[in-house]
Chain A
Amino acid sequence: MGGSGYVGPARARVERLIPSVLYRGVLVLVLAFVAAPIVVVFLSSVNSSQYLRFPPEGFSTRWWVAALSERWMVPTWFSLRLAAATAITATVFGTLAALGVHRGRFRGREAFLAVLLSPLILPQIVTGAALLQFFKLAGLGDVLGFPALLMGHVVVTLPYAVRTVMVSLHGFDPRLEWAAQDLGASPLQTFWRVTLPLIKNGVFAGAVFAFIVSFNDVPISLFLGRPGNVPIPIAILGQVESRFDPAVSAVAVVTIAIVLALIAVGERFARVSEFIYQQER
């Protein structure tokens, strides 16, 4: 027992320091692990070699010229349009669904919410295959391509919009809506002037998540595209399956840049990260 209760100042400092050093070390390793592939991809995109080599052998911009050609820009543009349409659709329906679930005191409210959120739990590849079967069985083979992709992507991104809007609604005082109506605002005016401005961060965050999930999606897109009508991840997959092309690295850098830029914008205007780190209170 003797003296074990006493910790000298020097030893105490070391004891405080060790966890701190350990913590920082682990953190640096984790971040490096996340960032390393991006660095490798970028380096290989400016590599002069035909093959994916690390470290790179010489500098060249020819893969970037190839990446910015029609072959890659068409699916990139297709993905941007698809992600934008998905984000808008999922956000509109997600916001309405969240409002309904938040306020509604109807039977089956919990079940309704569970169904809305279920695409988060189901393996997306199952959802994709099921949607393809559904379109075929329903005789809707024609919608494959953009319309089918949009529907599929809305299904899997809706949960994000519903969740983020519900988080904002949680801190929303319903008496503000009473006050607005009491002052003469119709329900629609109340929504535009009071409710939406106060939940806009959640709505915006939902749109950003929906956009990114749609833009990065593979499993749904794999089933619902049609030749010439595929989003960029599927185009990349198609190329890499047969033969590696360093232009793919350049394309990958472009897609990463788009997503990062969107997150930066989202962070600037709506503190999107709060919806990732903060639990529903």
Chain B
Amino acid sequence: MVAPDVELIGVTKRFGDVLAVRGVSVAVARGEFLTLLGPSGCGKTTTLNVIAGFLRPDEGQVLLGGRRVEHLPPYRRDTAMVFQQYALFPHMTVAGNIAFGLQMRKVPSSEIGRRVDRVLEIVRLPGLGARRPSQLSGGQQQRVALARAIVTEPTVLLLDEPLSNLDLKLRESLRLEIKRIQRELGITAVYVTHDQGEALVMSDRIAVMDQGVIEQVGPPAEIYEQPRTPFVAEFIGTSNFLRGRLASVENKLARVILRDGTELWARQPDAGQRGEDVLLMIRPEHLRAARGEAHGPGTDRNELRAKVTDVVYLGSYIRYAAEVSSGEAVTVEEQNVPGAARCASGELVTLEVAPEHCLLLWEG
């Protein structure tokens, strides 16, 4: 079995009394794009800096290509970082910046010229080698930073929120471009961001972090569709949470009773039961608002009685805010079908949701 390009085993990092990262274990396979996703202060950048060698872990192991590297300084590790603020050398030209890593590796100067030109083409900045970083736009500077990192052909590319200083349009196009380059070069990448959209679009796997701990690791679809903790469900996409009591499990479906006695069927959790008090998670797009009590609930369909409190028109879809009979506020998102009747604010409706879209979660 090939050793993963990056492996963290029980990595812990403290800053004074603050535990920035606690017991993080994760492996990144060759050519894989892993994103560390989480709110600011969750420890994702600290984790990245531990991999790069800028920080030493207080506990745990860091392996690159199966080799332990905790004791190695950054300049002896085969990683390359793209920084949030670009960190281009202002006193060097674009070509000088890109050539720096090659010069440090004692690559012959004739070859340096060729490789700099080629990487400038890869990042789509051909002919800009003679410019100074200050003469480039933010997006161009970030491309140079990317070129500087990949020209040395590192085993692992580390990216620390590389797009967060750019405007939305540029961010979206650069996302795809970074992903294209990473895939074409077959380079292993660890990407740090707080932007769930970026994480979903770019990653092979996402590790969601909170308070120094990895809450869940998995492919984007799994993270979105089967979040394992309320934090993950809340952080990725929008979620509705209903408090309830787990009454029984029948035919692979869990029967949950809400605070007002409403009975709902939910997907049986993968993990074993962890107590009676549960949270029922439902994505807004899985709820449908129907007028009146058209059908009647069953194990194939759940119904919630609710009162619409607000209607927001968003073009391609309509968003309702509603209060369900158990008193909790929920959000409903429906495709906008022009001409179709809409619910009005104050109207009493029935919210329908299929049991497979109701997910059982436990707090803490």
State A198–B91 Cα separation when bound (angstroms): 7
Q: Is A179 an interface residue (CB 8 A)?
A: yes
State A175–B101 Cα separation when bound (angstroms): 16
Q: Is A22 an interface residue (CB 8 A)?
A: no
Question: Which residues 133-191 of A have a CB within 8 angstroms of B?
Answer: 173, 175-176, 178-186, 189
Q: Is B52 an interface residue (CB 8 A)?
A: yes
| Contact present for A189 and B85 (CB under 8 Å) | no
The 5 A-B pairs at the shortest CB distance, nearest first, are namely: A184-B104, A183-B101, A179-B87, A175-B87, A181-B74
Residues 87-117 of B, flagged 1 when their CB comes within 8 A of A and 0 if not, give 1111100000000110011000000000000
Q: Which of A175, A181, A198 contacts B83 (CB 8 A)?
A: A175
Q: Which of A178, A184, A193, A197 contacts B87 (CB 8 A)?
A: A178
| Contact present for A198 and B87 (CB under 8 Å) | no
State A182–B51 Cα separation when bound (angstroms): 11
Q: Is B317 an interface residue (CB 8 A)?
A: no
Question: Which residues 71-86 of A have a CB within 8 angstroms of B?
Answer: none
State A186–B105 Cα separation when bound (angstroms): 11
State A43–B104 Cα separation when bound (angstroms): 59
State A180–B54 Cα separation when bound (angstroms): 12
For the complex formed, measure the closest distance between the CB of B106 and the CB atoms of chain A, giving whole angstroms.
10
Inter-chain contacts of A183 with B (CB < 8 A) = 75, 80, 100-101, 104, 148, 152
Inter-chain contacts of B104 with A (CB < 8 A) = 183-185, 189
Residues 160-203 of B, flagged 1 when their CB comes within 8 A of A and 0 if not, give 00000000000000000000000000000000000000000000
| Contact present for B74 and A175 (CB under 8 Å) | no
Q: Is A129 an interface residue (CB 8 A)?
A: no
Inter-chain contacts of B53 with A (CB < 8 A) = 182
* Given A173-B87, A176-B89, A179-B81, 20 other A-B residues pairs in contact with their CB atoms under 8 A: A175-B83, A175-B85, A176-B90, A178-B54, A178-B74, A178-B81, A178-B83, A179-B83, A181-B75, A182-B54, A182-B75, A182-B80, A182-B81, A183-B80, A184-B104, A184-B105, A184-B152, A197-B91, A198-B90, A198-B91
State A182–B52 Cα separation when bound (angstroms): 7
- Contact A180/B79 with A175-B87, A198-B91 known, Cβ cut-off 8 Å: no
Q: Would you mind naming 15 contact pairs between A and B with Cβ atoms under 8 Å apart?
A: A173-B87, A175-B83, A178-B74, A179-B83, A179-B87, A181-B73, A181-B75, A182-B52, A182-B54, A183-B80, A183-B100, A184-B75, A184-B104, A184-B105, A197-B91
Q: Is A194 an interface residue (CB 8 A)?
A: yes
For the complex formed, measure the closest distance between the CB of A163 and the CB atoms of chain B, giving whole angstroms.
22
Size category, A interface: 10 to 19
State A181–B100 Cα separation when bound (angstroms): 10
State A197–B96 Cα separation when bound (angstroms): 14
State A186–B106 Cα separation when bound (angstroms): 13
State A186–B148 Cα separation when bound (angstroms): 17
Inter-chain contacts of A173 with B (CB < 8 A) = 85, 87
State A141–B79 Cα separation when bound (angstroms): 57
State A159–B350 Cα separation when bound (angstroms): 78
State A181–B89 Cα separation when bound (angstroms): 12
Inter-chain contacts of B52 with A (CB < 8 A) = 182
- Contact A194/B89 with A175-B83, A182-B80, A184-B152 known, Cβ cut-off 8 Å: yes
| B100, closest chain A residue (CB) | A183
Q: Which of A176, A186, A193, A194 contacts B75 (CB 8 A)?
A: A186
State A183–B89 Cα separation when bound (angstroms): 12
For the complex formed, measure the closest distance between the CB of B290 and the CB atoms of chain A, giving whole angstroms.
55
State A183–B79 Cα separation when bound (angstroms): 8
| B158, closest chain A residue (CB) | A182
Inter-chain contacts of A180 with B (CB < 8 A) = 89, 100
Inter-chain contacts of A181 with B (CB < 8 A) = 54, 73-75
For the complex formed, measure the closest distance between the CB of A185 and the CB atoms of chain B, giving whole angstroms.
5
State A237–B83 Cα separation when bound (angstroms): 59
State A181–B148 Cα separation when bound (angstroms): 13
| Contact present for A185 and B75 (CB under 8 Å) | yes
Inter-chain contacts of B148 with A (CB < 8 A) = 183
| B90, closest chain A residue (CB) | A198
| A185, closest chain B residue (CB) | B104
Residues 341-352 of B, flagged 1 when their CB comes within 8 A of A and 0 if not, give 000000000000
Inter-chain contacts of A175 with B (CB < 8 A) = 83, 85, 87
